[in-house]
Amino acid sequence: MAIKAVGLTTHIMNNQIKTVLLLMGFPLLMFLMMGSLFGAMDVAFQSSLFSNGGFSVHNINWGHVWQTGLDGIFRYGHIVAAVVAVWFLIAFFFHGRMMRAISGALPVTRKQMPHIYNMLENLCISRGISMPRFEIIDSPALNAFASGISDKTYTIVLTRGLIDRLSDDELEGVIAHELTHIINRDVRLLVISVIFVGIIGFFAEIIFRSLIYGRRPNSYSRRRRSNSESGGALGTMLIALVIFAIGYFFAILIRFAISRKREYLADAGSVELTKNPDAMMRALLRISGNDKVRGMPDDIQQMCIENSHSFMGIFATHPSIQNRVQTISRMTDMPVPKLQVSLRHGPRGPWQRGKIPEA
């Protein structure tokens, strides 16, 4: 059964727009965070002047708070911008090595794994696109993800458990799913979001440490600063609260900027490429409950074909496997398959360090 139209072209365009907006909005948000930091420090300092308990919101000189925030941006903005730019450029050009180090993936060649390369090559020929590279994670978990930002860096990463436990048509469906992420440019947005969240986390850590060991803003006289020591604990707590609230909001913003609809569309793209919805549904059912890669950070896990961990227990980065299978079944008029006992062998023992076993 041919799958119904799902608007893949529109989705690609939307993702490109999201990427541009994300790139434009991130520097602005960084400066807003800086201004909020200095403004919060000024509020904390002013509150410490009222040691007799007479402090209220109306006592705050909000004009001075605003000016302190702007002064902080103009004084230190160029330094932050330079550091962020250097960080982003390094991550942009070396993200492949970074993700390989974080995930523990190892590159594989066609000679080592000819069957998966043949599957990928046939899929790429059918769409007239260049072939990504393959990498393998030595884990019994069943999962996969794609990474990269250009044709030269696109990579599909599979776990050892996925290769060992799925049948060939199921494995082809997973590979087609990840290839669809590359075709739709989802993977580019995912990589950019991981870089941005990393920058936010880094600066949040630096700011938090500077609040504990650093100096207060010199907007007031030395005499007033000496009288404010009793409110230092309150100020530190308030500033930390503001910084982490902004960081939390930004993390939520990033996660929701990556639409959960991308997984439905990648499933649809897989069925379109393989013409085998039954195999894709079987692959998802086998992956369900077996997706956790031990030691993999959440930022990488959310790039995988399945992420059963819900962020903060509330916000799921992926729709449920049940909903995805039901969607494929409904769109292709195919019944949900019942899994038979797999005759495929289980994951083999740990691989030799730095070496992929021959196929």
Active site residues: 178
The whole-angstrom distance between residue 68's C-alpha and the CA centroid of its chain comes to: 34
Give the phi and the psi of residue 24 in degrees, each rounded to 5. -75, -35
Spacing of C-alpha 339 from chain mean position = 31
The partner residues of 137 in beta bridges, in order of sequence, read: 105, 159
CA distance 270 to 175: 8
Q: What element of type H or E holds 155? A: strand 155-159
CA 311/CA 298 separation, integer angstroms: 9
Distance CA 219, CA 61 (A): 13
> Residue 225 contacts by C-beta under 8 Å, 6 or more apart in sequence?
45, 216, 218
Whole-number Cα distances in Å, 131 to 118, 125, 136, 175, 263: 11, 9, 16, 12, 21
CA distances from 105 to 30, 175, 223, 243, 308 (A): 32, 16, 58, 34, 21
Alpha carbon 66 to chain centroid distance? 33
Q: How far apart are CA 292 and CA 302, in angstroms?
A: 11
